[in-house]
Amino acid sequence: MVYCIKCGAPIKEGDKYCPMCGSPTTKVTREEFTVSGSDVVDRVKELLHEGNVTRVIVKDEKDGTLLEIPATVGVIGVVIAPWLAALGVIAALATKCRIVVERRE
């Protein structure tokens, strides 16, 4: 699901404007990375520091979502620290994880 960068409302794919606030939408590209459970936290930290990432989703082998981080939280390192600690514990149980990264153009 894509969210409005101005108000955070969900937007259907193909919509050119947000149905709530009317702001124009931007194109979203997705990338996927497969990493081992022990490297997940380090890779997520790297992605959040890149700056052009709007959402990071961490999934396990069975396509279950372990953690979903919006970009507004990624900017604030103090708020994200407990999430990354919890992710480290959860990812230790998984052998391989997929990281889905959304970027807006």
pTM over 0.75: no
Averaged pLDDT, 68-78: 60
Alpha carbon distance 17, 21 (integer Å): 8
pLDDT at 63 over 80: yes
Work out the pLDDT band at 14, boundaries 50, 70, 90: confident
Q: Is residue 58 part of a domain?
A: yes
Q: What six digits make up the tokens of 70?
A: 């919006």
pLDDT at 74: 46
Q: Nearest CA to 58 among 10, 95, 101?
A: 101
Q: Is residue 2 part of a domain?
A: no
Q: Is residue 95 part of a domain?
A: yes
Most confident segment among 23-27, 29-33, 35-39: 29-33
Domain with 41, as residue range(s), is: 26-104
pLDDT at 57 over 80: yes
Q: Is residue 3 part of a domain?
A: no
